[in-house]
Amino acid sequence: MTPDPAPSLRQLLAFYLDAGVDCALAEDPINRMLDDAPEPAAREAAPEPRPIVKPALHAKPPPPLAFGAPPASPDAAIISAREAAATAPTLEALRELMQRFDGCALRATATQLVFADGNPQAKVVFVGEAPGRDEDIEGLPFVGRSGKLLDLMLAAIGLNRGNVYIANVIPWRPPGNRTPTPQETQICLPFIRRQIELVNPDLLVTLGNPSTQALLGTRDGIMRTRGRWFDYDTGTRTIRALPTLHPAYLLRQPTYKRLAWQDLRAIATAIAATSN
């Protein structure tokens, strides 16, 4: 029997693409199965993220933060994230702390932290699931195709990135855009919770099922939860939260834009009520 010929470069690339590998992190391959494998170079070489639109609410510089050895287990990482997030007095301090947090393995494969975009003094916060490829490159949430749709959805009710705050439950891109594991979500949850607490909005909008289940503690699917108001405890007060359909879902299922429009109108009405 003649052995199969070695795959061509094109076939190899097609194989990687099918496996979810869609960008190179470094010039040379690194065998991460080895104990002494170096840290990925891409993260160190990553460009500085664009600053969010307005300065953080509190101008005091953050205290120096030091993490010791990486947490030994996912449970330890969750505890470490909780403790660290609680110490951040400002959004900037939180961003710095997250940049150094090594309890979530996604940080090692992502290009950079995707912290937030928008106005830290906004009265409405929108939270998605996790950054994709475009967000990972730019360091900002919702800048790809679904972000463009989100911008249109916001504009339809007179909102934009200057008057809302946008973030994700997971701040690092999962490789190949895979679904974050429940453990990764639990590790990242204290950070997004603290972010919401520091912004201190009147309304929270969760985009899609993962963000709704993670933040609102629901088990129902998004088709049951969307358009229903929930209470959300920020840590300092209770605000109203509305789940709606994720823009990426609407790109795949445009007929559901009708439902998203109902939700957007409910958000507009709630904003008008809070500003009276």
Binding interface with ligand URA (CB under 6 A):
128-132, 135, 141-142, 144, 146-147, 168, 248
Residue where the block lists tokens 């919770």: 193
Cα 66 to Cα 35, 70, 74, 90, 94, distances in angstroms = 24, 11, 19, 17, 13
Q: Which is nearer to ligand URA, 119 or 146 (CB)?
A: 146
Alpha helices by DSSP H, listed for the chain, are 9-18, 41-45, 74-87, 91-100, 106-109, 133-138, 145-156, 182-199, 209-216, 222-225, 247-252, 257-274
Distance of closest approach, residue 214 Cβ to ligand URA, in angstroms? 11
Measured at CB, which residue is nearest to ligand URA?
A: 128
Q: Which is nearer to ligand URA, 192 or 239 (CB)?
A: 192
Cα 33 to Cα 16, 69, 74, 166, 172, distances in angstroms = 18, 19, 19, 36, 22
Q: Which is nearer to ligand URA, 187 or 214 (CB)?
A: 214
Distance of closest approach, residue 168 Cβ to ligand URA, in angstroms? 5
Q: Which is nearer to ligand URA, 146 or 225 (CB)?
A: 146
Angle between helices 91-100 and 182-199 (to 10 degrees): 160
Distance of closest approach, residue 16 Cβ to ligand URA, in angstroms? 22
Distance of closest approach, residue 149 Cβ to ligand URA, in angstroms? 10
Q: Which is nearer to ligand URA, 141 or 190 (CB)?
A: 141
Question: Contact 190/87 with Cβ under 8 angstroms?
Answer: no
Q: At 12, list the tokens.
A: 């190899």
Distance of closest approach, residue 95 Cβ to ligand URA, in angstroms? 16
Distance of closest approach, residue 49 Cβ to ligand URA, in angstroms? 13
| Paired sense of beta strands 117-118 and 238-244, if any | unpaired
Q: Which is nearer to ligand URA, 7 or 221 (CB)?
A: 221
Length of the chain: 276
